Amino acid sequence: MTKSSHNRRRLLTLIALGFAAPRLAWSTEADEDGLARELVARADAIRFPQESFQTDITVRNFNNGEAGDVRKYRVLSRGNENTIVLTMEPTSERGQALLMRGRDLWIFMPSVSQPVRLSLAQRLTGQVANGDLARANFAGDYTPRLIGSETVDGFPCHALDLAAIDRGVTYARVKYWVREDNTWPLKAEFYALSGRLLKTCRYLDFRELAGRERPTRLSLEDALKADERSELSYETMTLRELPERMFTREYLRRLG
């Protein structure tokens, strides 16, 4: 693709996204940084509501093409910064809860009197890290940079490189593809601090949840073991008022 045709495509994309005409001359590095941030923020809003919400998630793990264990979680999120993840199944683990405030994460277990501090990057189940459920704020956790245009599943996409703002986030780096016509996220690659690719995520089965079309199935595939993957299915998602007092260690102790 020539530079002039790429710029024409970007111009059309910006018009479709509703950017005002004076902002269409993205000619400087600062302008491109602004566009990258806007694209990531819009894709975040498609993945999850920006308001308080509740969603039920089923995680299915696969190994060598064979279905493995199935786990169910209920996620309560308030403004992208406060989240509770409740384990609903298996029954033997019911009562376990994750509490995230900002990037601080604790696990509460009925058999342990004190909460235990965890890392967002620590594995929860299969290919799913704690941060995959507890925190999905790419716009707040990464500094994005546009690196070009690529086609994913037949759709022209903006390709972005996301660098972690510090070591407290789930992944050190993310390569991210969002559709040029509507900013739907389609694919992400998650990298370790060493630069090693950890896993690839695909955002699938877009349908209406909580008032707009969102990906309702995520497929996470291990980069080193292609026969190991996890699928996250979002069964329900509803907007719900969640008071600040819920997102405290004292409240979680009562839930246990």
Q: Are residues 35 and 70 both part of a single domain?
A: no
Domain that holds residue 161: 3-48+136-236
Verify that 229 and 148 share a domain, yes or no: yes
Give yes or no for residue 2 having a pLDDT over 50: no
Q: Count the domains in the chain.
A: 2
Same domain, 140 and 231: yes
Same domain, 65 and 184: no
pLDDT confidence tier of residue 28, bands split at 50, 70 and 90:
low
Q: Is residue 161 predicted with pLDDT exceeding 80?
A: yes
Question: Is residue 127 situated within a structural domain?
Answer: no
Question: Is 15 part of any domain?
Answer: yes
Helix, coil or strand: residue 254: helix
Q: Is residue 21 part of a domain?
A: yes
Domain of 23, CATH number, reads 2.50.20.10
Task: Say if residue 7's pLDDT is above 80.
Answer: no
One domain, residues 36 and 84: no
Quote the pLDDT of residue 255. 63
| Same domain assignment for residues 37 and 59 | no
DSSP 91-134: GGGTT-EEEEETTEEEEE-TT-SS-EEE-TTSEEETTEEHHHHH
**Using one digit for the tens of pLDDT, what is the confidence trace for 56-108?**
999 999 988 788 899 999 999 998 789 999 999 999 999 899 999 988 999 99
Residues 16 and 77 in one domain: no
Cα–Cα distance, 98 to 106 (Å, whole number): 6
pLDDT digits (tens, 9 = 90+) for 183-229: 999 999 999 999 999 999 999 999 999 999 999 999 999 998 878 99
pLDDT at 226: 79
Q: How confident is the model at residue 25 (pLDDT cuts 50, 70, 90)?
A: very low
**Pair (13, 74) in one structural domain:** no
| pLDDT average, residue stretch 229-252 | 91
Same domain, 43 and 160: yes
Read off the pLDDT of each residue in 13-30 and give the average, rounded to a whole number: 47
Are 171 and 230 in the same domain?
Answer: yes
- Closest among 21, 26, 22, 243 to 146, alpha carbons compared: 26
pTM to 2 decimal places: 0.85
